[in-house]
Structure 1
Amino acid sequence: MFLRDYPAELTPNGEGGFVVTFPDVPEAITEIMDESELEETATDCLVTAVDFYIEDHRPFPSPSKKKKNQVIIQLPVSISAKILLLNTMIANNIRPVDLARRMGINPQEVNRIIDTGHTTKIDTIAKALSVLGKNLQLSIR
């Protein structure tokens, strides 16, 4: 499963800018004044939506295929890895305290691992997934 390339739609806002929405993540809505702001602003918006899903303990949706007139916004690899961990935890009904116990760390450390605002080594995320029976793999396309 690859959770990185999210299609976005740009709709003119009537003031010369655009409203940016994500069909797969309805909570992610932002506005830009011109397309030069698109990548940074839309990525920030999408990462903020990830935070809502983490707080609500809901699985983050997978991206659909890009349609005509949509653009792709790429999540950072580190955020995609955190989403994979979050979705695995939810699918297996694993709370942060349960993961902490399995990893031999305290629950606060698990909360930092899944926190999008905290820099986490990819090896740490891979270890967390490993104790949940998953293998994080990277590839080049």
Structure 2
Amino acid sequence: MFYPAHFEPAEEGGFVVTFPDLPEGITQGDTYEEAMEMAEDVLISCVEIYFDEEKPFPAPQKFKKGEEAVFLPDSIYAKVLLHNTILDKKVSKAELARLTTIRPPEIQRILTPKHNTKIDTISRIMAKIGNPISLVISHQ
């Protein structure tokens, strides 16, 4: 998954990066490559903030002219889908544990963006709460 970002040249050199979908997503780097690396890192930090605040994480809007694509790893995007579904369906962590027979501490780890979780686990949970994941190959 990719999120649109603006890379603006900074007065002092380098680039300032902002995300139209995420007002809290601001970073910078001395080179384009460093700015992109920092943008990917701040994008993941934004996911963590939204999860901690129990707010739905926004889907990326369509790209506009001049915007750059910043990568969000699929493993984290799958957790975004799970997180947003849990919020939308108002499923508590305790209820999720009961539905899936996964212990509550493991549910907490699964819902942590940077924790390594197998896609199969996320897929099983999504199916249990009525929103199965479907993988599609995009031909662009």
TM-score, reference length from structure 2: 0.94
Aligned to 2:134: 137
The structural deviation recorded for 1:27 is 1.2
Q: Is 1:6 aligned to residue 3 of structure 2?
A: yes
Q: Is 1:106 aligned to residue 103 of structure 2?
A: yes
Equivalences for residues 52-67 of structure 1 within 5 A: 52-67=49-64
What secondary structure is seen at the aligned counterpart in 1 of 2:5? strand
Matches of 1:128 and 1:42, distance apart in 2: 30
Matches of 2:115 and 2:46, distance apart in 1: 16
The structural deviation recorded for 1:94 is 1.1
Matches of 1:107 and 1:39, distance apart in 2: 36
Letter in 1 for 2:88: A
Matches of 2:35 and 2:125, distance apart in 1: 33
* Aligned-residue CA RMSD (Å): 1.0
Aligned to 1:70: 67
In the TM superposition, structure 1's runs of 4+ consecutive aligned residues that sit over 3 Å from their partners are none
Unmatched runs of 5 consecutive residues or more in structure 1: none
Aligned to 1:35: 32
Q: Is 1:123 aligned to residue 120 of structure 2?
A: yes
What secondary structure is seen at the aligned counterpart in 1 of 2:20? coil
The structural deviation recorded for 1:108 is 1.2
Q: Is 1:80 aligned to residue 77 of structure 2?
A: yes
Q: Report the number of matched residues.
A: 138
Unmatched runs of 5 consecutive residues or more in structure 2: none
TM-score, reference length from structure 1: 0.94
Letter in 2 for 1:130: A
Matches of 1:36 and 1:74, distance apart in 2: 13
Task: For residues 46-90 of structure 1, give each alpha carbon's deviation from its aligned partner in whole angstroms, at most 9, with x where no partner exists.
Answer: 000000000000000011111111101121000110000000000
Letter in 2 for 1:87: N
The structural deviation recorded for 1:116 is 1.3
Given candidates 47, 51, 58, the residue that maps to 1:50 is 47
